Amino acid sequence: MKYRAENMPFENCRIPIMLRFCYSDNFAADPVYKKLDSMTEGFAGRVVKSEGFEGKTKQATTIHIPGKLKLEKLILVGLGEKGKSDPEAFRVAAGWVSRLDGIKGAREIAVAADGFEKREIISAMIEGFVLGGYENLQYKSERRDERKNESLVFHYKDIKHQMEIEQGIENGGIISEGVVLARNLSSDPSNFLTPESFAGKAVEYGKKYKFSVQVLDEKKIAREKMGALQAVAQGSDNPPRFVILRHNGGRKDAPPIVLVGKGITFDSGGISIKPGLDMHEMKQDMTGGAVVLTTMITAARLNIKQNLVGLIPLAENMPSGRAVKPGDIIKSRKGITIEIINTDAEGRLILADALDYADKFKPQAVIDIATLTGATKYILGYAGAPIMGNNENLIDAIYDAAEATGERVWELPIWDRHREDMKSNIADLKNSGGPFAGTIKAAAFLENFIGDWPWGHIDIAYMDLEVETQSYIPKGPTGFGMRLFVDLLSNWKKL
């Protein structure tokens, strides 16, 4: 989709359909609605009254405009109360309206942006509209895409807002494309997206968007002594890969922020095989890796002024005669020995080697993101992601980014009892600490592999896949975490 800004009053719009977002407080005073009501001699007001539109969230009403204007329909979209509205309110409202039948088939759509010219709001409108209308049809044999939207045009009266609106358009378009790519990658079936092909895509995107990509194959992984990553991968015919991404947007001497994403391209559970129900969703166990890759792409496109490193360990977790078994003991890159209790607790193993590898970069902070534990479903459900870490300034920064993007998080503690539960009688650690507090215990395990730097851990299990359509998140893969990361990095402050 293309986006542009046009400096003209809404009534001169040459596009048949226009959106106007409205607050519920004193809705009748909205300047666009008020002028339209006057121009139509009260017709707009009668429509609004008959439809019961009050500017509340999830409300929309269409006014068909009589006369000779090229503008044929003005769709009023509710934002809710003004005091409670922020960019997320615009994102949500745009997401709901994007799926209206009259909108889906329109080639061009205009937005009356007067009063809403801030770049954050313009960006949020685009994000909501694009992400709310998302469909993945790439594997359909007949790809009859009902969406005909080609452009979104923002109308404004005051020329002084032009730069702000254009910046919002650029940001919103790039961020939306990043989330769409993350969703598409998460949708890719594992017979198309193997560790090797994922790494190949990363190389292609690095060339296209001008950031550095290095790929370690199985031989180089062995030289790095990444025994935990090797153990997870050894049951599969598809060998592992380890991807290193670099975006140099900051001072040459500034230490980087390192992002680590779990990249299990299919998780059968290994020898501790999962139940068959919903196992097809395990192709999405690489969503953390997809989020890191698309964050790096978006950072390069937005020219974020930070030095960034992305690390993505990639493997398939499969059962075979070669697969790691419960009771086996493996050695991680850090030299820590690990007793395998459950081969389905594999994500923390590949992250362990990646977190240790992060030490090479002398980072100012490291954040990992992963579809790690099914236990998150019983903590926050599908409403948000648990986070843990060792630095409250970093946790607070993640909270701020979550608030700005609507990608909610909540901090859990890591207590000494959780750490004790991850100790093994015959090795240094075990990879599973039993059924209780599983999300926290996984973080307590990872804690052993971090260096002397601030660390944050985001568990996006059950946030990677929406089970019921929610405004700008249709049922299916969400790309959760990418917008949070981009906001966090764009507004980064020294910890």
Residues of 1-12 as b/e, b for ≥16 C-beta within 10 angstroms? eebebbeeebbe
For residue 215, being part of any structural domain is answered with yes
Which residue, among 385, 367, 393, 377, has the nearest Cα to 456 in the 3D structure?
A: 367
What DSSP state is assigned to residue 86? -
For residue 175, being part of any structural domain is answered with no
Q: Taking the alpha carbons of 45, 126, 396, 460 in that order, is the dihedral positive or negative?
A: positive
Q: Which domain holds residue 331?
A: 180-490
For residue 166, being part of any structural domain is answered with no
232 and 303 in a single domain? The answer is yes
For residue 199, being part of any structural domain is answered with yes
Last residue of a domain, one of 91, 126, 158: 158
Last residue of a domain, one of 158, 191, 211: 158
260 and 403 in a single domain? The answer is yes
Which of these is catalytic: 56, 104, 274, 331?
Answer: 274
DSSP 416-461: HHHHHHTB-SSSSEES---STTHHHHHHHHHGGG--SS-EEEEE-T
Cα first-last separation, the chain? 38
Instruction: Please enumerate in sequence order all residues whose Cβ is within 8 A of that of 173, keeping only pairs 6 or more positions apart, or say none.
Output: 1, 3, 126, 130
Mean pLDDT by 10 residues, the chain (495 residues): 91 91 89 89 90 92 82 92 86 94 88 95 97 90 69 94 96 98 97 98 98 98 98 98 98 96 97 92 96 98 98 98 98 98 98 98 98 95 97 98 97 98 98 95 98 97 94 95 98 94
187 and 153 in a single domain? The answer is no
For residue 163, being part of any structural domain is answered with no
68 and 198 in a single domain? The answer is no
For residue 20, being part of any structural domain is answered with yes
Q: Compute the distance between CA of residue 192 and CA of residue 471 in angstroms, rounded to an integer.
A: 30
Which of these is catalytic: 119, 348, 441, 483?
Answer: 348
Instruction: Please enumerate in sequence order all residues whose Cβ is within 8 A of that of 36, keeping only pairs 6 or more positions apart, or say none.
Output: 11, 44, 63, 65, 74
3-state DSSP call for residue 26? coil
Q: Does the active-site annotation cover 274? A: yes
31 and 68 in a single domain? The answer is yes
What does each C-alpha distance from 385 to 43, 81, 402 come to in angstroms? 47, 27, 10
Question: For position 113, which CATH number holds?
Answer: 3.40.220.10
Number of domains, the chain: 2
70 and 187 in a single domain? The answer is no
Whole-number pLDDT of residue 147 = 60
pLDDT tens-digit map of 141-198: 876 655 677 899 999 999 999 999 999 999 999 999 999 999 999 999 999 999 999 9
Instruction: Please enumerate in sequence order all residues whose Cβ is within 8 A of that of 199, keeping only pairs 6 or more positions apart, or say none.
Output: 215, 241, 243, 314
185 and 152 in a single domain? The answer is no
Instruction: Please enumerate in sequence order all residues whose Cβ is within 8 A of that of 144, keeping only pairs 6 or more positions apart, or say none.
Output: none
Which residue, among 360, 241, 361, has the nearest Cα to 306 in the 3D structure?
A: 361
136 and 62 in a single domain? The answer is yes
293 and 417 in a single domain? The answer is yes
441 and 482 in a single domain? The answer is yes
Q: Compute the distance between CA of residue 345 and CA of residue 338 in angstroms, rounded to an integer.
A: 12
Question: For position 468, which CATH number holds?
Answer: 3.40.630.10
253 and 370 in a single domain? The answer is yes
Indicate whether this model's pTM tops 0.85. Answer: yes
Q: Compute the distance between CA of residue 426 and CA of residue 330 in angstroms, rounded to an integer.
A: 12
Whole-number pLDDT of residue 6 = 93
154 and 224 in a single domain? The answer is no
3-state DSSP call for residue 23? strand
For residue 167, being part of any structural domain is answered with no
For residue 168, being part of any structural domain is answered with no
Q: Does the active-site annotation cover 147? A: no
Q: Compute the distance between CA of residue 483 and CA of residue 289 in angstroms, rounded to an integer.
A: 14
